[in-house]
Structure 1
Amino acid sequence: MSTESCEPDCDSTRQIPFEEFVAARAGVLRRTAYLLTRDNHLAEDLVQTVLAKAWRKWKRIKGSPVPYVHKMLINEHLSWRRRRWNGERPTEFLPEGADRDPTDAVGPKFDLWEAVGRLPKRQRATLVLRYYEDLSEAQIAEVMGCSVGTVKSQTSKALTRLRRDPTLDGTYIVADTGDGGRSL
């Protein structure tokens, strides 16, 4: 395989230009950030913060930048919980929610996202990386900077909380499909 046709997420000795990486991966990073934060604006802020930090370190990143930037995204998200102020100021009137589709808040899909949103951040992160990013337990452990056992216990605790959540009413059952895939 020639390095000229190398995608931004392949492991290669060729240094991928930052702009090329952002063009190829920004959508995936925004989706992951949204699944972690459950807010489009916070997700944008999270991705922008991570990409700004990655840009400063870009020349020092060896190999594929994808795992490195994913780890930065998770770490930044987890560090936000320690912040006392996130830049928001209260206002007298709430803005119109014109960019939201009112039908999104109806039905079991909304209930599941509400339940996932109530999970602690580390548990939510393990579910997002496992079931939406389709990473293995070892990859998640690497991204989150913890052991595989911690990933397993966080995932187990998260799934137990979801199973016991009264708003889901048994609608969703987490199952292993048997072929290595997982479904919620």
Structure 2
Amino acid sequence: MSELEDSFTDYVNGRRPALVRMAYLLCGDVHLAEDLVQAALVKAVARWARIGDQPEPWLRKVMVNDHISRWRKHGSRERLFASLPDAPGSATDRDHDLARALRSLAPKQRAVIVLRYYEDLTEAETARILGVSLGTVKSQHSDALARLRGMLPTLHAAAKEI
């Protein structure tokens, strides 16, 4: 294998779980998250020589854009299944409540929340990834937090205690 192929393989082996977690927070479905990551990695392999130094921002942008495009195309069908119970696992009730609340947000609002809190990006970095203005990120962020607080009063109260 070439050095470029080794670099890509090492990156995928090391970062794939984190990419899948981010994708899951974006779309709320494990299988769709796997598909989102796979599609982004397929796009990345063709451009790896150019993005190999800093692949994370590029991959985040691709996943967010692909998710938003998919949601626009198939959103009504996804909302139909949003109320189905999550797969069994070790997550707490609070985790399930938060995942359900995130799924109820509009795709760009969800992307802002995921990028700001899960990926720990600044508002400017989030704006750059989403291809929107800083003001748009701030308004989406504010609207999303207000909606989440309204849906999760117990989570909001717990956050105030910390």
TM-score for both structures, normalised by structure 2 = 0.79
Q: How far did 1:33 drift?
A: 0.4
Does the 8 A contact of 2:123 with 2:137 survive in 1? yes
1:40 corresponds, among 30, 40, 43, to 30
Q: Measure the CA separation in 2 of the matches of 1:48 and 1:75.
A: 14
* Paired positions, count: 149
Could you tell me which of 134, 138, 156 is aligned with 1:173?
156
Counterpart of 2:40 (choices 42, 50, 54) is 50
Does the CA contact (< 8 Å) of 2:109 and 2:144 recur in 1? yes
Decide which structure has greater helix share: 2
Matched, 1:155 2:145: no
Identity percentage of aligned residues: 45
**Which position in structure 2 is the counterpart of 1:131?**
117
Q: Cα offset for 1:102?
A: 6.2
Q: Pick closer, same or farther for the CA change 1:160–1:52 going to 2, 3 Å.
A: same
Task: Between the two structures, name the one with larger relative contact order (CA 8 Å, sep ≥ 6).
Answer: 2
Gapped regions of structure 2 (runs ≥ 5): 76-84
What does residue 93 of structure 1 align with? none
Report the RMSD for the aligned CA atoms in angstroms: 2.9
Residue correspondence of structure 1 range 95-110 to structure 2 within 5 A: 100-101=87-88, 104=91, 107-110=93-96
State the alpha-carbon separation in 1 of the partners of residues 54 and 145 from structure 2. Answer: 31
- Name 2:54's counterpart in structure 1: 64
Amino acid across the alignment from 1:145: G
Poorly superposed stretches of 4+, deviation over 4 Å: none
* CA gap 1:84/1:128 in 2 versus in 1, 3 angstroms: closer
State whether residues 44 and 59 of structure 2, in contact with CA within 8 Å, keep that contact through their aligned partners in structure 1: yes
Aligned to 1:7: none
Moved more, 30-39 or 75-84: 75-84
Larger Rg over CA atoms: 1
In the superposition, relative to structure 1, how do residues 21 and 109 fare at CA in structure 2: closer, same or farther (>3 Å)? closer
